[in-house]
Amino acid sequence: MSEREILIWELFGSASRQLAQAVADDVADTGHTLRSVQQFCAGKVGEVRTAVIYEKSRSLVKCDYVWRRTDRWINFPWSDKNPVVRRGNAVLDA
């Protein structure tokens, strides 16, 4: 990295510690993904808020912004694979 790139990164890094960050996902199912992002951001930004389209009751993270709450299976149009496949006697994630 050049001296200029390092300076820009250092300025961004110190400024971002004061900023609020929004993390968005399609669904908070187990909440593990959102929890990982929250832990990654801890100490790096001022505040982390979460937004999802759907939140399930079993989610570890209770999101700040939720469109709908459900415990039903959700088929999103951008999901191109079945969630579970059967191969022989084993059931595997797709």
Establish if 83 belongs to a structural domain.
no
CATH of the domain at 44: 3.40.50.2020
Residue with tokens 């389209």: 53
Residue 82 has pLDDT above 70, yes or no: no
For residue 14, the one-letter residue type is S
The per-residue pLDDT for range 18-73, each reduced to its tens digit, is: 777 889 999 999 999 999 999 988 888 888 899 999 999 999 999 999 999 999 98
Tally of domains within the chain: 1
Largest CA distance in the chain: 58
Q: What is each CA distance from 27 to 42, 43, 69, 73, in whole angstroms?
A: 21, 25, 10, 10
Establish if 31 belongs to a structural domain.
yes
Q: What is the span of the domain harbouring residue 32?
A: 3-71
